[in-house]
């Protein structure tokens, strides 16, 4: 595919992706299947922020790992920059790994405690042979530090000498070191102090503007998702039950699960908040058959019937 054709389509297209785990039952008796991801489809445009929300265990992180090929799908396809990467052997994934990066929830667990943060940020440049010369590399690392709002004089420090927010900035600097086009961010602000969360969100937005990045943003905090994401998908038990422009979903949720999820968010207007009713979702109302496609209820707004 030519570069022009590739740039016209979505940066990421996930088609009917499934990941089933077969687990031994109680005391090893019998087997049962956990359908962690069970037929998920969505596409992300260049420079777009696409949110993935849903309760704990709904399959959000598994979807993220499948997109990155950190895990193998049971079935389905992942197209990245026009190329079907679900069929590639792990050995052929290196160029893909350069263009698609991850930012983790817990920056401390992601960092290597015995490696200086400068070397940590510069490591992908070594692995991919981008800046083999140390001086050149350290200049690039310093530029990356500035880009994420860290003082480049701190390159020789170790992770424990940083605050949570600073560590997440280090993780982000490493993620953008190879100039990716897509970043999968799995709950990247959940572990941070509330006062720091907005700063990191702003950093994600600034970098998107500067670098034209697309994000797959996995999150719990719905107010943050509303602020940050252009479109979003709501997951429930391994499936997407609703997908559409963020405002359409917040203003006009159609699926009973989405309605229940949104009704749990406090409204910053006292009059409306006083009248807010929390809805309870009854799973038995979900009638959709396993491979049933979603219905488009408004432009770009899809709901599982
Ligand atoms: N390796 C595994 N083996 C068996 N089951 C797994 C495995 N990994 C995940 N699961 C199950 O798959 C389901 C989806 O997990 P996943 O971590 O994707 O959810 P999540 O939406 O990211 O949840 P959270 O909001 O808590 O992070 C869960 O029921 C989980 O227990
Ligand atoms: Mg998760």
pLDDT tens string 30-47: 888 999 999 999 999 999
Predicted confidence at residue 290, as pLDDT, reads: 67
Predicted confidence at residue 218, as pLDDT, reads: 96
Give the tokens for residue 30.
Answer: 């019998």
Cβ(33) to ligand 1 under 6 A? no
pLDDT tens digits, one per residue of 152-209: 999 999 999 999 999 999 999 999 999 999 999 999 998 888 889 999 999 999 999 9
Listed residue (59, 73, 56) closest to 238, CA to CA: 59
Helix (H, G, I), strand (E, B) or coil at 22: strand
Ligand with minimal distance to 59 CA: 1
Predicted confidence at residue 287, as pLDDT, reads: 62
Give the tokens for residue 51.
Answer: 């949110």
Please, which residues have CB less than 5 A from ligand 2, an ion?
61
Domains of the chain, residue spans: 3-303
Tell me which H or E stretch contains 59.
none
Q: Report CA(110)–ligand 1 centroid distance (Å).
A: 19
Do the Cβ atoms of 207 and 25 come closer than 8 Å? no
Q: Mean pLDDT in the chain?
A: 90
Q: Which CATH number fits domain 3-303: 3.40.50.300, 3.40.50.1110, 3.40.710.10, 3.40.190.10?
A: 3.40.50.300
Mutation probe of ligand 1 site: the residue of 37, 62, 64 with most atoms within 8 A of C-beta: 62
Q: Report CA(1)–ligand 2 centroid distance (Å).
A: 34
Cβ(21) to ligand 1 under 6 A? yes
Per-residue pLDDT band for 110 (boundaries 50, 70, 90) equals: confident
Cβ(56) to ligand 1 under 6 A? yes
Give percent above pLDDT 70 in the chain.
95
């Amino acid at each position: 595919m030519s570069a022009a054709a590739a740039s016209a389509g979505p940066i990421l297209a996930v088609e009917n992706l499934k990941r089933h785990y077969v687990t031994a039952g109680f005391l090893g008796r019998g087997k049962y299947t956990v359908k962690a991801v069970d037929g998920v489809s969505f596409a992300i445009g260049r420079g777009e922020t696409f949110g993935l929300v849903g309760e704990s265990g709904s399959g959000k992180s598994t979807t993220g790992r499948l997109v990155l090929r950190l895990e193998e799908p049971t079935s389905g396809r992942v197209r990245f920059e026009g190329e079907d990467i679900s069929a590639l052997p792990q050995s052929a994934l290196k160029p893909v790994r350069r263009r698609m990066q991850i930012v983790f929830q817990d920056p401390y667990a992601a960092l290597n405690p015995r490696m200086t943060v400068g070397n940590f940020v510069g490591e992908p440049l070594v692995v991919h042979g981008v800046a083999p010369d140390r001086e050149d590399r350290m200049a690039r690392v310093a530029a990356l530090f500035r880009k994420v709002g860290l003082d480049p004089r701190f390159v020789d420090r170790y992770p424990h000498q940083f605050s949570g927010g600073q560590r997440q900035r280090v993780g982000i600097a490493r993620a953008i070191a190879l100039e990716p086009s897509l970043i999968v961010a799995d709950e990247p602000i959940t572990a941070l102090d509330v006062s720091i969360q907005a700063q990191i969100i702003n950093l994600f937005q600034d970098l998107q503007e500067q670098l034209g990045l697309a994000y797959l943003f996995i999150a719990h905090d719905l107010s943050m998702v509303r602020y940050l994401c252009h479109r979003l998908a709501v997951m429930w038990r391994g499936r997407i039950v609703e997908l559409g422009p963020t405002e359409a979903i917040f203003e006009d949720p159609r699926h009973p699960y989405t309605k229940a999820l949104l009704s749990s968010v406090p409204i910053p207007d006292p009059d409306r908040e006083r009248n807010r009713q929390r809805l309870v979702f009854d799973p038995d109302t979900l009638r959709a058959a396993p491979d049933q496609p979603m219905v488009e209820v408004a432009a770009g707004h899809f709901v599982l019937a």
